[in-house]
Chains A and B, each alone.
Chain A
Amino acid sequence: MNTQTLAPHESMELHEALNFKTLCLAKSKLMQGLVFDQELKALMQKDVIQSAQQIAELQAIYARAPFQAPVPNSPTPITH
């Protein structure tokens, strides 16, 4: 079961979950440079660490999407 290809609708949910989580990670990371309260900053850093872990787990399962394709090693996204 675990190596089976995902259904299209599940893949779409994972696409949305992954992108939402990616944006949350980016915001929690960037906003740490703007907050004054150190407790709020610490909670945002906890969110960064937790989000990175969740993104890794989402990516592992998203790899079974029917439209999966080889991803280049470069961290720079494809913009063209």
Chain B
Amino acid sequence: MQLEEKALAFRCGEDHLYGVLSAPPCPAARGVLIVVGGPQYRAGSHRQFTLLARSLAAAGTPAMRFDYRGMGDSEGAPRDFTAVGDDLAAAIDHFFAVQPGLREVVLWGLCDAASAILFYAGADHRVAGIALLNPWARTEEGLARATLKHYYGRRLLAPEFWAKLARGRFDVAGSARSAWRMLAAAAGSPAPAASSLSERMREGLARFDGKVLLMLSGADLTAREFAGLAAGSPEWQDLLGAPRVTRQQLAGADHTCSRRVWQDQVAEWTSAWLRAW
């Protein structure tokens, strides 16, 4: 397998953005643009996006990843995931410019990149599908509930857990304070209010008419919170229950899928889904 990687540089407004294209020898007409979320640059936590791009390219899909303005190697001021539409448009333009035979793209994103993709996808006809891993729909109340239910619930009262953390020089006092704040937040809001973030995400999903792959990690608060949000809203349930949506659940995996077996599973699901339509 002769996989070629190209270093890319392109403009977004006045700034230069940097990225890498992983190009298979016989590229499919549908490419994947990996959108980078959170405090990461285009290699991703533990290089997961470098490896995902290579894995997709090995299966015939051209894959590109890049840094938003203000992240990684790219110029410009940092911005948050709600303000990256121009960066995504510039990256897709460049993807079409450098990858011969490309007809459409899938946007792939983890965490707040998945949220950014939901905001963007419906407005660009070149986007045929979106792949979302552990989308970020955080609200204070939702976080508190998810944390208490799925994390502290098991361990908060186990003294040996705290003793072990203390020996590992963790900030036990700080953790206890944050747990207390979460208890207060959960108690103070009997019904989680819909946040404007989750509403915008839902509107974005409704506006987009392509294929959707939703992957949730089993041991991740962000994923739990998203699942909780979706389960608590008929509108979300309608959207996610549609036949165009493929759902996958990765038991035991953390937020960034930090074990190789989890990364490989995510890459496999993505490739299989790309082949299925």
The reply to whether chain A is a binding partner of chain B is no
A interface list, Cβ under 8 A from B: none
B interface list, Cβ under 8 A from A: none
